[in-house]
Structure 1
């Protein structure tokens, strides 16, 4: 079986619009856009290791606490 053509995608889009309605799709699209924007802003706020080079470093040692 081959991939779907543009005609198939238009039919699928029409069925989705009929099932969910255009208002719900518009709301879902704006919510998705806001989430992606917030994610990108959140990823940009993380400090890089070079920017954090002057910060105090705490060394810790992990211990194995598995049951014996």
Structure 2
């Protein structure tokens, strides 16, 4: 679990309101080519962004480069 989040919700959010559903479409880019090397480079850059993964950086880099990539 993340130790602490850098991104928090609104202070005045009313927790007793009924939940709403939404769809958010975002283009986060694509690899330069459909090759394993290009996909690996893209994933390394994308998954190293602290806004995407909120684990301690040293721990996440071990997981990312030791297991995922």
TM-score of the alignment, normalized to the shorter chain, above 0.5: no
Higher relative contact order, structure no. (Cα contacts within 8 Å, ≥ 6 residues apart): 2
Normalized per residue, which structure has more helix? Answer: 1
Return the index of the structure with the highest Cα Rg. Answer: 1
